[in-house]
Amino acid sequence: MPGRYQFSLPERPSRDGWFRIGTVDVTTTALLVGLGVLSMFVYAIGGAGGLFSDLIFYGPLVRDGEVWRLVLWPIANPPTRIWVLLTLAFFWFVGHRIEDTIGRKRFTTMILLMTIVPAALVSLMDFTVDTGQAYGLSILAIALLVIFAFDSPGAVWLFNIPLWVLAAVFVLLDVLQYLGNRMFGALLVELGAIIIGSLTARQYGMLNDLDFIPRFGGGAKRSKAVKPAKRRGGGTGSTVVAGPWAGADTMHGAADQMELDGLLDKISASGMDSLSRSEKARLNELSKKLRGR
């Protein structure tokens, strides 16, 4: 009706997924979250001791030949508390930011290394089943938060808390909890995931300010084909689509700017050729939209 305010939700971000289900791009991040949700139903049907227990990483059982536990432990998310939903939502946000930056293939490689390598090393240690175990996306989510926070040192959270401070607090709380519960395996897996993830992200063009992390063979430094420029929110991006964003519509501007930032970060990390055809089209669409054309 004339005179009424109209409200519409922001457009769903277009991502370079492995495949699509309806209008949803199934990225590696989305796939892990979906499997995490599915594991809750597995837990409900079979209980903690059923099929669900076969997903959990147990170092001694890996040494006995159950090597699938090295890969599957992140998707074991028991619905025992409300925090598991916040963990999945948190992983969805942080995971997609990094996946949009380095690309789905590199992100998948990084996740596999963060999952398998620390668990394999812990399996070589003489832990009991009780202390040499790990499960859930919370471990990878914390590791990805550390990587994202230190790749964007100027980023802030609620109440202008620096994101790296929040990441450090989360890691400290996990360390104290694991030590108190004598879950030494989970502690080493999480610390190992942070180290392996940071090392891998460095090779893929992230964490450029952390010079103490080596780049092997020169690594994949951020592309020099485009000159970084200041973007709203303190990030850096590319002059390819730089423009006067201040006039963007307030309702959709934040979501559009976040999506644009992800595309610009991906270009900075791997170059324009790393974008898929749909991403390039979306890049042009967002640049025109935010310029007010």
- The domain total for the chain is 2
Specify whether 178 is located in the same domain as 91: yes
Domain boundary among 198, 218, 238: 218
* Tens-digit pLDDT profile for residues 146-178: 999 999 888 887 778 888 899 999 999 999 999
Residue 19 inside a domain? The answer is no
- Cα separation of 68 and 266, whole Å? 32
Half-sphere exposure (Cβ direction) of 75: Cα atoms closer than 13 Å: 25
Query: Quick one: pLDDT at residue 146?
Result: 95
| 225: pLDDT strictly greater than 60 | no
Does residue 177 sit in the same domain as residue 54?
Answer: yes
Last residue within a domain, chosen from 218, 237, 254: 218
Residue 199 and residue 106 in one domain = yes
Q: Are residues 175 and 265 in the same domain?
A: no
Q: Tell which of 170, 199, 218 closes a domain.
A: 218
Residue 185, domain member (yes or no): yes
Give start and end residues of each alpha helix (H) in the chain.
28-46, 59-63, 69-72, 83-102, 104-123, 137-151, 163-180, 184-203, 250-270, 277-291
**Residues 243, 213 within the same domain:** no
> Structural domain of residue 271, as residue ranges?
228-291
Would 201 be classed as within a structural domain?
yes
Q: Does residue 81 form part of some domain?
A: yes
- Token pair of 290, please? 């935010």
pLDDT at 115: 97
Contact between 37 and 88 under an 8 Å Cβ cutoff? The reply is yes
Average pLDDT over the chain, rounded to an integer: 79
**Amino acid 236: pLDDT:** 42
